[in-house]
Amino acid sequence: MIRSLCLVVLAASAAGCATSSDLIPIDYEFLDYPEESRFELVYRNVTDQIVCLAPEAWPDSAGRIAGAPQIIVLVIGNTGFPVTAEPGFWGHCDPVDACLIHVAPREVLSVSIPYSSFTIPKELQDKPKELDFEAVGMSCPRNGGE
């Protein structure tokens, strides 16, 4: 529950003026590819509006996510493996909405995250996995464009 609340606060703050009514739950697909030592997250925007995802709410094209160790955990059996943070990765966005990912209506967004982003022992890489990650989007700022 704390993870969800923090994510909502972080995502809302990224847009500057987002309110709780602007927040959009993000249902994503988790696809595991153990033979490639990676998994993929796939989000389909089924709304009729552009959805914005903050850096705290969705991985970038390199599979990195702001605030990662607190936000995204790969679970194998009863053990959680938080994603490792990259030192110095998170900088400043100016303007704030410059870091938002804009997802058009009916657009599909996917990102591949390598197992190396986690400290998973080799012997567990072929085991079933779940992702402890609650994503939330928001209505894009009016001046955010695409």
The string of pLDDT tens digits covering residues 93-109 is 666 667 788 999 999 99
Residues 66-80: tens digit of each pLDDT: 765 667 889 999 999
pLDDT at 144 over 50: no
Looking at per-residue confidence, does 47 or 143 come out higher? 47
Cα 78 to the chain's mean position, in Å?
22
- Decide: residue 14, CB within 10 A, 0-12 exposed, 13-18 middle, 19+ buried: buried
Residue ranges of domains in the chain, CATH in brackets: 2-139 (2.60.40)
81-91 residue pLDDT tens: 988 766 545 55
Determine the Cα–Cα distance for residues 138 and 23; give it in Å rounded to an integer: 4
pLDDT at 33 over 70: yes
| pLDDT value, residue 92 | 55
